[in-house]
A and B are shown apart, each in its own frame.
Chain A
Amino acid sequence: MDKPEKFIIDGIRLDGRKPDELRPMKIEVGVLNRADGSCYLEFGKNKVLAAVYGPREVHPRHMQKPTTAVVRFKYNMASFSVEERKRPGPDRRSIEVSKVSREAVEPMIFTEYFPKSAIDIFVEVLQADAGTRTAGINAASVALADASIPMRGLVSSCAVGKVDGELVLDLMKDEDNYGEADVPVAMTPDGEITLLQMDGNLTKEELKKAVEMATEGCKQIYKLQRDALIERYKKDLEEHKEEVELVEIIAESEETSIESTIDNTDESGGLNDE
């Protein structure tokens, strides 16, 4: 398709969305039999699968870390996922995407709980339509939770771009190809940014607004991820209702005790001076 003359007509984008609207997302949890955790995710026309294995033994052995788990992330695009057949195997783009995606989810994993072990994350892009890395990170985050990997929270991800000089949420293919900027972002439920890339042209002010828009997008995605996980484990949650409540009570009391510890250390001038 050639470059369209205009991307936004009367406030509506080429695929009928408003500037701050995400494409529809569908999330299914626990779709693979062998993996410890898995997720199938559709984001617009993107179709991605994520699988998590681990914590498990590290191979090759020299990669293991004495005090934490190693997290490995492999993003792979199927050769049929794009218009022109992609040569199978890792290219420079997927090496970079794998690296930044790993760094987007790893801050959320309690890697210190699993020294000398590996947590392997595999993302397979079955169909690509702009925003595959954000789709992959969303799926990986859910798959990690499905694999019962202890985490600080889920990571949610979406991109903001610029077309016709206007910022728009979640670029689709043509907007990505001919747009003026692309900013993929991933964040924690608290709004801390674990992935940020940008190419194109943005002013400082636009960057600020882009991050704000991405924050709103990520909030919506977080809800979908959470709902999908609850849907998958609804039955278990019902069955173990009492235990769940107990865990929540313990978690709450721990939180208050941690808070009081922090208060105490503050009064004594902080731990770092000791």
Chain B
Amino acid sequence: MSEEVMNELKRDYLYSLILKNQRADGRGFEESRDIVIKTNIIEKAEGSASVKLGDTYLVAGIKLQLGTPFPDTPDKGVIITNLELIPMASPNFESGPPGENAVELARVVDRGIRESHSIDLKELCIVPGESVWLIFIDIHVIDDGGNLMDAACLAAIAALLGVTVPAKKYGIGEDFKLPVRDIPIAVTAVEIDGSIVIDPSIDEGRIAGAKLTVTSNIDGSISAMQKSGVGFFTPEQINYVADVAIKRSEELREKFLEL
């Protein structure tokens, strides 16, 4: 993947702003960009959602199919999460099989949903060892405006909340709404020159050292975390990010009550 070059002037400007406790778009360090979530936008999918987070725009679609369970979990349905960084979204993205960034994003989204037990996989079992529901969560990044992680997690859970299980189509009873037990929400922060800012814009993401995503649940517990980027955090910074992420996720969760 080729990387865009950022000019020194802009880089220095962003750093100098951080030193003055400011951000290029006027946000506070703990403030995230505006979020617009729309659900059920793709009729052919069993569930779908689009998320606009600042300049970032992406779409998640959920398809359900019957399939066989994994041998080690014969009585559980299967979640398969995939994320595509399609070339139209950024000059940095190339077509072809998912690269490490796409794989990482998808796996962290998956981990949040799986570990929060928001979907009870046992309820998706039809005949143990033979037939279970496979839930495919596919996320397409349409426009990369930074912080794809948080947008992708929001889209995935928003889409899941609207899923109707197509039982009738497969001749196994009436359609029903997929029960969702938790709303895991990811909040990402980056470290820039010793300061921590949440919901990094694309430019902030590029000058950042390390990045930390914290996915938290309704009860305030944490279900997934991921540090990425070449850089490090002190233990104090990690506790701080966890704190902010849990608080922010509560605010975001209220968005879902409006859906």
Contact = CB atoms under 8 A, between A and B. Distances in A.
A197 B226 contact: yes
Given A96-B107, A207-B222, A212 B231 contact: no
Interface string A178-214: 0000010001100111111111111110011001100
Contacts of A211: 235, 238-239
Interface residues of B, number: 40
A174 B259 CA distance: 41
B230 A204 contact: no
Among A106, A183, A196, A207, which residue has the most Cβ atoms of chain B within 10 A?
A196
Given A92-B103, A199-B115, A204-B242, A107 B232 contact: yes
A100 interface: yes
A204 B231 contact: no
A99 interface: yes
Contact of A196 (B100, B212, B221): B212
A272 B104 CA distance: 35
Interface residues of A, number: 34
Interface of B, secondary structure class, is mixed
B122 interface: no
A86 to B, nearest CB: 14
Contacts of B220: 203-204
A62 interface: yes
Contacts of B7: none
Contacts of B242: 204, 207
Contacts of B235: 191, 193, 208, 211-212, 215
B115 A188 contact: no
Q: Kindly name the residue among A191, A194, A212 whose own CB sees the greatest number of chain B CB atoms within 10 A.
A: A194
A272 B227 contact: no
Interface in B190-226: 209-210, 212, 217, 220-226
A101 to B, nearest CB: 11
B209 to A, nearest CB: 8
B243 to A, nearest CB: 7
Contact of B227 (A106, A193, A201, A203): A193
Contacts of B103: 92, 95-96, 99
A132 interface: no
Contacts of B222: 198, 201-204, 207
Nearest to A106: B230
Contacts of A199: 111, 114-115, 223-225
A195 B238 contact: no
A200 B238 contact: no
Contacts of A193: 227, 232-235, 238
22 contacts: A92-B106, A98-B100, A107-B232, A191-B234, A192-B234, A193-B227, A194-B232, A195-B227, A196-B233, A196-B238, A198-B224, A198-B225, A198-B226, A199-B223, A201-B115, A201-B221, A201-B223, A204-B220, A204-B222, A204-B246, A207-B238, A272-B16
Interface of B: 2, 15-16, 19, 98, 100-101, 103-104, 106-107, 111, 114-116, 209-210, 212, 217, 220-235, 238-239, 242-243, 246
Interface of A: 62, 92-93, 95-96, 98-100, 103, 106-107, 183, 187-188, 191-204, 207-208, 211-212, 215, 272
